[in-house]
Structure 1
């Protein structure tokens, strides 16, 4: 079980856990900035390379809860450090891949490593601070993902432009095991989650408030990645930016994500997770609507893209905080794994849908699809909040507080 640590230890540990998010986030997103280079090397279309994002995300989505069920009771440093080692091996295999098929197998290996890292790192970060500091702790850890967007993806694009895309994955292959060794020493052997039965995943989904929240995560990520995976052709063909501007554009997008994550950490305790998530959905709706209607000029395109990037990561840390509040202590690690699974399943759905829409109808079809998925995500949030209020009313009236009959039944309402 988790325990709080000294403020100094937490100040050091949380950024290190965030660095693990940075590495697996860069590994998963780097191909977005390397589409043309990788497509040329493997003699396939850019849409074919975009499918690697979908495959990586789908593998993560399936593996994240499964690894928690199989190994979630093990010390978290084993999951995090072992995942970083696996990530490094997958990155090395990608750098050496001679063709698309070999690259696909390497992406699956990297995704398995990432699936071990993400939920364990979030659970570890939440466990070592007081409940009142969890919002800031989770935002600090998830900042690694925003830095993967603001630094990792554009740096990968730059390296692919001036040198070889394979260099990106060689650097990941070196960095991941080194960070794994450092975190093995920093975390210690006493931090582990509870043993979770295979039915635990169904218990996470059994509460309607949590199930709708996970669907919201899936839909919001699908909405973003439908367009983000093909951001380069979207911004060049729709808004007339030059191909040479893409590194700077990706950095701007990532900077917006950093701002959104910082706002989540700053105002998470004051506003509460639900209000922040609602603000995020509203901002995404405005951004995608604007991208549909704006004139085909660079300035409005970039400004609306920045609004998208700020709001696109504003909901990530509050979503994790909300699931921790919704789940009973014994299932919090699995709830976070289910959230990571929903996030990457949404990325897979969005990337795959975007690649196909781009092939069928061009860039003009991407933003309308993103808007529809975002609106559906907003509806899922509303249903989740309604279900949570219904549960709270039942608890206040004394109904649904049982723990089951001992015959395998699952209570309809979890008691916090």
Structure 2
């Protein structure tokens, strides 16, 4: 029951993180702000999550994880309820920034908790299972919030996240056993991480691939509407198509990751994302764009799951800190990607919207992640052959 409670928690977290992107069309119209300001709202929240993840990991120490994760979801509920009532943009962005600190805590600590409760032989599968909640969010949550945003408004979508967060808090409290207290991370342990080129390289892979993906994903809703004339239902369908195959990719990864190894799995998924982004300009219509995004959809969320398992396997005793740092890289990547996308949109070619150039940002950043991942995989093989621990 514990793993399902944590999976559902990640589902709610994922819906909440992605709700601004899904409802961006209504949000910018309702608050009378530009698409670029909407992108900045995403970026501010991402920075808070990115910076907050390692800081919160250091602060919570050996706190009981059942209590911690349940309280985290209650904070998420309160924050989204207040965001739903925000009168304008000046109120919304600080409320949003404080709310998403919950995501900075829940996602890495849920993964670390599951890894702590699992045997080494099944650790990779256990971690990717709870992280699958994010993929489920992309299947159901992202399309639903996009539809709700278009038909009922972004405030209703925020309110729905608040209700789901309360349910998640109750499930976590009931599903997790008492007394799960992974060892607190010392300054010496943090130093070991920052002194390890291999561990840092893997975290950098997460940062680059997250930024590359989010340069496009952050603006997908207005992109589909502006350049392809998509209706609310078509926008939801595109998100649902992407999310459905993202879930399938996670399910496949969950079954094979302990056999293939996380490093190989991640390097493969990154290559598939680059393939989609390179083929992006060849899609003249929305249905063809769906076909082009298929390799990306299968790989996008699987990459994040694989990275969590990769770090958990490289150094299990440093897992709580590594998961937090990796989550920080995911969210900081969102900020970098959203900001880079906003810059591209603010500097369009004459007579063009700027959306058609977003994929090139993704190609560069995800391509860099692929190269670094391949290098880190080779270094890991060498370390394993020499019997060295990456934290040594």
**Partner of residue 307, structure 1:** 295
CA deviation vs aligned residue, 1:322-381 (integer Å, no higher than 9, x gap): 11121251x211111111111111111111211221121211220011001011001211
Query: Structure 1's 236 and 174: CA in aligned 2 closer, same or farther, altered over 3 A?
Result: closer
Report the counterpart of residue 375 of structure 1 in structure 2: 367
Segments of structure 2 that go 5 or more residues without pairing to the other structure are 349-353
**What TM-score does the superposition give when structure 1 sets the normalisation length?**
0.88
Number of the residue aligned with 1:235? 224
How far 1:265 sits from its partner (Å)?
Answer: 0.5
Q: Look up the SS of the partner of 1:127 in the other structure.
A: helix
**1:171-201 deviation line (CA, Å, top 9, x unaligned):** 2222213321331232232101112124533
Deviating more after overlay: 226-235 vs 90-99: 226-235
| Unaligned 5+ runs, structure 1 | 1-11, 402-412
Q: Within 2, Cα distance between the matches of 1:95 and 1:259?
A: 32
Distance 2:321 2:85 in 1: 34
Preserved contact between residue 240 and residue 298 of structure 1 (Cα < 8 Å): no
1:272 aligns with 2:250: no
Corresponding residue of 2:380: 388
Q: RMSD in angstroms over aligned alpha carbons? A: 1.8
Is 1:347 paired with 2:298? no
Shift in Å, 1:37? 1.0
Q: Distance in 2 between matches of 1:104 and 1:73?
A: 31
How many residue pairs were aligned? 387
Counterpart in 1 of 2:132? 143
Which range is displaced more, 341-350 or 270-279?
270-279
1:256-271 pair list within 5 angstroms: 256-271=245-260
1:113 to partner: Cα distance = 1.2
Per-residue CA deviation, residues 222-270 of structure 1 (Å, 9 max, x unaligned), is: 0100011111233345556445410111111111210111111011122
Structure 2 residue aligned with 1:320, among 308, 326, 329?
Answer: 308
Contact 1:209-1:383 at 8 Å conserved across structures? no
- The answer to whether the Cα contact below 8 Å between 1:238 and 1:296 also exists between their aligned partners in 2 is no
Sort the Cα spacing of 1:241 and 1:95 in 2 relative to 1 into closer, same or farther, 3 A.
closer
Instruction: Trace 1:196-275 onto structure 2 (pairs within 5 A).
Output: 196-238=185-227, 241-242=230-231, 244-275=233-264
* Cross-structure match for 1:91: 80
**2:61/2:184 contact within 8 Å kept:** yes
Cα 1:198/1:112, change in 2 over 3 Å: farther
Contact preservation (8 Å) 1:135, 1:317: no
The equivalent residue for 1:16 is: 5
Larger-Rg structure: 1
- TM superposition score normalised by structure 2: 0.94
